[in-house]
Structure 1
């Protein structure tokens, strides 16, 4: 695919056909890149759709400063980063007091990697929670439902929602603290 191709599309030719061509050409690259970053097939499916919606909406902004593939993969990367900055991790981790405030300086590559690893581990811990705790945590943090709506949806009181949410956060934080302590002991052992 070339710059001229996208230019002709944005000049009034069939954008739907162009989107089909782009999805055929780059769909597997987009999906694989998302899966590599998130390690979740369902997330890759959802975000790949979101990427191609953005590509469709922004076709006319492509200027040819890079290849079409590079342009699409940059949209993909930004979409994944937006997903990771979503309220999910902020509401689970920050509101429970586990994570500290971000540093004022730009993070190093090691810090970025560690944040990514922490997020992946957090997902794994959440998925291991008992269903009653996991369900409340997902509805609150991921779907951003207020506690009253969660209670109505699950047929439980708002107090029970608060209790389950608190227990879910405590279990996630406990696991993270135990893991963090084990990492520190391992690092000290390696230094000696």
Structure 2
């Protein structure tokens, strides 16, 4: 395919055949969910079609598609992260305090959800350089090496940013709760 300001159906088909597996695999690595990777891969090719005029040819088409994949997947995670993840002690709703499953009351479930929402508001206030590694670590449970590979940061930098992000969130969280 030649660099042009337009893509036709056969160009899109060729891109999907040539790079579809790489795009899907990268989306899966970031999201760890095959259904989400399917949706993201589809979105990537739609975005490529809609934004081909912005492709400057400075990088390969594969690199451009993988950059779109990363941005699309991270945007998805940020939205999904707010809805689902609870940082406090690594617990999820429904976990008993002693590690056994229990049936929480509607009130306790509501309070947990409210607390999680407030906590994630603090996470979202973090600068991206701290927020992104924390999201990848806590939400996706990726290893330091995996996060390093995705972000291009050294493993030491990834560890440091996750640690600092947790400290910042904890300090803000404690400060906000001291006011109550």
TM range (shorter): 0.5 to 0.7
How many Å separate the matches in 2 of 1:80 and 1:105? Answer: 18
Pick from 27, 36, 39: which aligns with 2:20?
Answer: 27
SS at match of 2:129: coil
Deviations 1:41-77 (CA, angstroms, capped at 9, x unpaired): 1111111011111111112221111111111111111
Unaligned runs of 5+ in 2: 87-112, 142-165, 167-180
Mark the runs of 5 or more structure 1 residues left unpaired by the alignment: 122-179, 181-192
Query: How has the CA–CA distance of structure 1 residues 29 and 48 changed in structure 2, closer, same or farther, with 3 Å as cutoff?
Result: same
The aligned runs of 1:34-73 (5 Å cut-off) are 34-73=27-66
Q: CA 1:105/1:45 → structure 2, altered by over 3 Å: closer, same or farther?
A: closer
TM-score (norm 2): 0.54
In our comparison, the structure showing a higher alpha carbon Rg is 1
RMSD of Structure 2 on Structure 1 (CA): 2.6
Alignment of 1:113-192 (within 5 A): 113-120=133-140
Q: CA deviation at 1:6?
A: 2.4
Alignment coverage as a number of residue pairs: 112
Q: How far apart are the structure 2 equivalents of 1:105 and 1:27?
A: 32
Higher helix share: 1
2:8 aligns with one of 7, 15, 34: 15
Normalising to structure 1: TM-score of the pair?
0.50
Report the alpha carbon displacement of residue 105 of structure 1 after superposing the two structures with TM. Answer: 4.6
Between the aligned partners of 2:57 and 2:74, the Cα distance in structure 1 is: 23
